[in-house]
Amino acid sequence: MRPALTALLAILHREALRFLGQRGRFIAALVRPLVWLFVFAAGFRAALGLSIIPPYQTYIPYETYIVPGLCGMILLFNGMQSSLSLVYDREMGSMRLLLTSPLPRWWLLASKLMAGAAISVLQAYAFLAIAALYGIRAPAMGYLTVLPALFLSGLMLGALGLMLSSFIRQLENFAGVMNFVIFPMFFLSSALYPLWKMAEASPLLHDICAANPFTHAVELIRFALYGQLEPMALLWVLLALAIFGTVALWGYDPARGTLTRKG
Amino acid sequence: MKHLILAASVLAGPAFGAEIWVTNEKDDTISVIDVDTLEVTRTIPTGERPRGITFSKDYSKVYICASDSNAVQVMDPVSGEILYDLPSGADPEQFVLHPDDRHLWIANEDDAVTTVVDTVERKVVAQIDVGIEPEGMAVSPDGKIVITTSETTNMAHWIDTSTLQIVANSLVDARPRHAEFTEDNKRLWVSSEIGGTVAVFDTATKAELAKIHFAITGVNDDLIQPVGFEFTPDMKTAFVALGPANHVAVINMDTYEVEDYILVGRRVWHMAFSPDHSKLFTTNGVSGDVTVIDVASREPIKSIKVGRFPWGAAMRP
């Protein structure tokens, strides 16, 4: 048990160091959702607020609606960013160092995921704090109940990044990830518009959004922020985590020779 | 001993919580909302197009303006049965119960009169000619003055309740819809729907003291149509419903500055406080719901579905 913990702490420490070393990354991770909140949402103020959907009990301005989606955005970008760092690690050889540790591979990858999710959660809280200062507040208890939802969603999106990183050969390919993963995932979700609004536009669009695991991460966060549990969203997030995690583990399997092929 | 405990528990436990009664103009019903659970507990049928609603002083009777039935209906709030109709003149929209707990002063929108009805004798005592389309009604706390606002003449008429004569007319902005005296009898507030303002008068001099304007970011000015309003008992804060602007304005009653706008349902009309004044219930006509505002934090906490086109609201402790 002890060596496992040591490995987890070491990986966490390394992630924290990397995070602290890249202050630009922290600011960028915060500025992105804040721009959406202050600029995009302000312009769309009147577009929403004509219907009450759970977990909201009354009419809400668009800014309030968009906050959980922007938390999801932070987690999504961070998940991808950590996948980027894994590709980098692999190119630099530190990945090999990590994976040659005598601990089971799944544990090392899980530690990496947990470390990444912890950093993501911190950033999401920083964002929630700024939003609260701006006047967009959730019930006080919500800030506590949202923690597991943020962490779980962070793990799921991190696992997605991990899975992708096992298939990306070079750092340069990361731009492709941006185009083909981050943007479709974000826009085809309930982050910016509720699903009923999507259904008005096109039923197909609605179905795609409903199948997108990112939608469920956002809804899990949204309900948790109001002290409620959305079981469907939880189920989807757990399922996606299991699938992404398994594929990532398989992708990093030395028997498959991914690393040797690279090395 | 058992009996004593039983008696104590009966005395201690409130059999009925406080309620907010909301008239649904299109459904011809009243929705009764429990103040604690914030849920509709009863829906009671009324005459046609119920609008104004008020309780007698001891809350044993509730008066309802059934506009299209051309009557003021008197209901037993416990059973929900209509006891009898009072003569009201044509198309009663709003009314006010005089502090004597006996006389109802009713605005008859179609006839340009204000009708005074004796609720005990059940007959019309007087009819006073006022401006065109009278609507808003207010009575001073001392009962000496009744105000009728006329929507088309754009005036607040000051009626002396002893002589039944108009003693003064105050010009206000277009389409005045609601009037209210402050508890200390020093000020009269009148809202103008089309004018988009609330005027404040000195009751002694009848001079205008202030005019309150509204502006909400992202909401077109012509959608800002102030209608109903309520004062907190400490006379520090007024809440003004802004109609299709879908917001309630919070006004500092000393400086007449707008301090806040609260998002509620669509076309917010009238409102009522909970007995302890910690919650405010607004009727949202178009969205067919009642938004509950937490008075201390000025946050909307819930919107409750009621009937179609909720209009008036009254509290029953």
Tens of pLDDT, residues B275-302? 999 999 999 999 999 999 999 999 999 9
d(CA B313, CA B51): 9
Closest CA to B184 of B141, B146, B232, B145: B141
Per-residue pLDDT, averaged over A74-101, amounts to 80
Chain A residues close to B218, C-beta within 8 Å: 45-46
Q: Which of A134-138, B7-11, B105-109 has the lowest mean pLDDT?
A: B7-11
- Nearest-neighbour CA in chain B from A185: distance (Å): 30
Q: Which of A26-40, A139-153, A231-245, B105-119 has the lowest mean pLDDT?
A: A26-40
d(CA B271, CA B227): 10
Supply the mean pLDDT for chain B: 91
Cα-Cα end-to-end distance for chain B: 31
d(CA B273, CA B282): 9
Is pLDDT at B4 greater than 50 in this prediction?
no
Q: Are A168 and A83 in contact (CB under 8 A)?
A: yes
Looking at residue B126, what is its pLDDT?
A: 92
Helices and strands in chain B, H and E counts: 1, 28
Per-residue pLDDT, averaged over A77-100, amounts to 78
Chain B residues close to A52, C-beta within 8 Å: 289, 303
Residue pLDDT, tens place only, A195-236: 888 888 889 989 999 999 999 999 999 999 999 999 999 999
Cα-Cα end-to-end distance for chain A: 30
Tokens of B61: 């009777």
Q: At what angle do helices A213-225 and A62-92 cross, to 10 degrees?
A: 130
Q: Are B212 and B197 in contact (CB under 8 A)?
A: yes
- Nearest-neighbour CA in chain A from B293: distance (Å): 10
With CB atoms and an 8 Å threshold, state whether A49 touches B302: no
Q: Are B167 and B160 in contact (CB under 8 A)?
A: yes
Residue pLDDT, tens place only, A149-164: 999 999 999 999 888 8
d(CA A241, CA B118): 73
Pairing status of strand B299-305 against strand B289-294: antiparallel
- Nearest-neighbour CA in chain B from A56: distance (Å): 8
Per-residue pLDDT, averaged over A71-78, amounts to 93
Looking at residue B12, what is its pLDDT?
A: 41
With CB atoms and an 8 Å threshold, state whether A45 touches B217: yes
- Nearest-neighbour CA in chain B from A225: distance (Å): 15
Looking at the DSSP assignment, which residues form a beta bridge with residue B305? B289
Radius of gyration of chain B measured on its C-alpha atoms: 19
Q: Which ranges of B150-240 does DSSP label H, i.e. alpha helix?
A: none
Is pLDDT at B8 greater than 50 in this prediction?
no
Looking at residue B310, what is its pLDDT?
A: 96
Supply the mean pLDDT for chain A: 85
pLDDT band at A48 (very low <50, low <70, confident <90, very high): low
d(CA B286, CA B288): 5
Is pLDDT larger for residue B173 or for residue A4? B173
B223 touches chain A (CB under 8 A): no
* Integer CA distances (angstroms), B300 to A131, B248, B297, in order: 18, 10, 9
Residue pLDDT, tens place only, B44-101: 999 999 999 999 999 999 999 998 888 899 999 999 999 999 998 888 889 999 999 9
Is pLDDT at A254 greater than 70 in this prediction?
no
B219 touches chain A (CB under 8 A): yes
Q: Are B114 and B135 in contact (CB under 8 A)?
A: no
Is pLDDT at B10 greater than 80 in this prediction?
no
DSSP B216-271: -TTS-GGG-----EEE-TTSSEEEEE-BTT-EEEEEETTT--EEEEEE-SSSEEEE
Looking at residue B64, what is its pLDDT?
A: 95
With CB atoms and an 8 Å threshold, state whether B218 touches A46: yes
Sign for the pseudo-dihedral over CA of B132, B133, B139, B143: positive
- Smallest Cβ–Cβ distance between A61 and the set B263, B265, B302 belongs to B263
A61 touches chain B (CB under 8 A): yes
Phi, psi of A18 (to 5 degrees): -60, -40
* Integer CA distances (angstroms), B263 to A61, A62, A200, B247, B257, in order: 8, 11, 24, 5, 18
Per-residue pLDDT, averaged over B175-188, amounts to 95
Is pLDDT larger for residue B17 or for residue B142? B142
d(CA B113, CA B129): 5
| H or E element in which residue B119 lies | none
With CB atoms and an 8 Å threshold, state whether B300 touches A49: no
Closest CA to A156 of A27, A52, A247, A67: A247
Closest CA to A117 of A152, A92, A88, A83: A152
Residue located via tokens 């502006």: B215
Residue located via tokens 């993963």: A181
B302 touches chain A (CB under 8 A): yes
- Nearest-neighbour CA in chain B from A48: distance (Å): 12
pLDDT band at A260 (very low <50, low <70, confident <90, very high): very low
d(CA B64, CA A168): 73
Is pLDDT at A258 greater than 80 in this prediction?
no
- Smallest Cβ–Cβ distance between A59 and the set B217, B218, B303 belongs to B303
Sign for the pseudo-dihedral over CA of A125, A127, A130, A132: negative
Closest CA to A217 of A139, A144, A126, A155: A155
Looking at residue B297, what is its pLDDT?
A: 92
With CA atoms as reference, the chain A residue closest to B290 would be: A58
Per-residue pLDDT, averaged over B119-134, amounts to 92
Tokens of A214: 């990112």
Chain A residues close to B263, C-beta within 8 Å: 49, 58-61
Query: How many residues can be counted in chain B?
Result: 317
d(CA B240, CA B226): 6
d(CA A33, CA A131): 10
- Domain positions in chain A are 2-262
Is pLDDT at A249 greater than 60 in this prediction?
yes
Looking at residue B98, what is its pLDDT?
A: 96
Residue type, B145: I
Number of Cβ pairs < 8 A linking chain A and chain B: 32
Looking at residue A88, what is its pLDDT?
A: 77
Per-residue pLDDT, averaged over A4-19, amounts to 84
d(CA A78, CA A161): 9
Looking at the DSSP assignment, which residues form a beta bridge with residue B85? B73
Q: Please tell me whether the overall predicted TM-score, pTM, comes out greater than 0.90 for this model.
A: no
Closest CA to B72 of B98, B53, B56, B44: B53
Q: Are B170 and B159 in contact (CB under 8 A)?
A: no
Residue pLDDT, tens place only, B305-315: 999 999 999 99
d(CA A119, CA A117): 5
Strand order of the sheet with strand B258-263?
B229-231, B237-241, B247-252, B258-263
